[in-house]
Amino acid sequence: MFRRDNCNRRLTVAVLCTLGLSVIGCNRATSEKEALRKSLEVNGGSEQNVVKFSGTVTVDNQPPVIERGSPFFVMAYDPKNPPKGRQLPFTTTCDKQGHFQFNTYGTGDGLPAGSYVVLFAQPKADGDGLMNLYNDPDINAKDERFQIELTSPGKTDWAFELAVAGKDPITIPGPHAIKATRERRKRG
C-alpha cells in the first residue's frame, strides 16, 4: 500500500517533469528562431517569404534510379539572380520514389516566392546520368514545363516527366549548364 505522502510526491515529480519537458520544447523552438534571426543579422539578410515547392519526378515513366553515390538533384534556377562562380542554384534531392521537397528555413517549407527554371541532374562517374538533357537553364527556359512561378501558398504536387531513352546526349553543355559529375560534387 502506498502512503498518501508517496502519491503526492510522485504526482509532484510527474508534474514537474512534464513542465520541465514542455519548457525545454518551447525553448528549443525559440532558440531555433533566435539562431535564424542571429544568422540573418550576421549575414546581412532578412527572412524571406517562402512558399511550398515539392512534387515528383519520373524518368521515362519510372521513378529515378537512385544509386549509392549518384543522387538525383532537382534545382530551381533564378534567372534574375543566377548563381555566381561555383555557387549552385537552390538544390534538393529526390528519394527513390521520385519525391522531392525544397527547404529554406525548415523541412518542406519551400523556396522564396518568385520565377524559376527547374533543372535536373544526376552525377555519375562518366558525367550526367540524364545525358545533360535537363541541366541547362538556357534550354529549360524555352520549355514551359520547366518554367515555374512560385506564389503563396505554393504547391506540393508538381510533376516533372523527363524523357531520356532514345535521346542523343548533349556532349558539350552550354555555358550556364550545371555540370553534374562526382568530381565536381567532391570539390564543391
Write out pLDDT tens, residues 44-79: 555 678 999 999 999 999 999 998 888 999 999 999
Exposed / middle / buried, residue 180 (Cβ in 10 Å: 0-12, 13-18, 19+): buried
Q: Rounded to whole angstroms, how far apart are CA atoms 143 and 6?
A: 73
pTM of the entire predicted model: 0.74
CA 143, 149, 150, 152 torsion-angle sign = negative
Decide if pLDDT at 181 tops 60: no
Q: State the pLDDT confidence band at 170, using cuts at 50, 70 and 90.
A: very high
Q: State the pLDDT confidence band at 16, using cuts at 50, 70 and 90.
A: very low
Q: Give the 3-state secondary structure of 65-105.
A: CCECCECCEEEEECCCCCCCCCCCCEEEECCCCCEEECCCC
Q: State the pLDDT confidence band at 23, using cuts at 50, 70 and 90.
A: very low
Decide if pLDDT at 34 tops 90: no
Q: Amino acid identity, residue 184?
A: R
Q: Rounded to whole angstroms, how far apart are CA atoms 112 and 50?
A: 4
Q: Rounded to whole angstroms, how far apart are CA atoms 71 and 122?
A: 6
Give the chain's length: 188
Closest CA to 92 of 83, 82, 102: 102
- Mean of the per-residue pLDDT values for the chain? 81
Decide if pLDDT at 2 tops 60: no
Decide if pLDDT at 15 tops 50: no
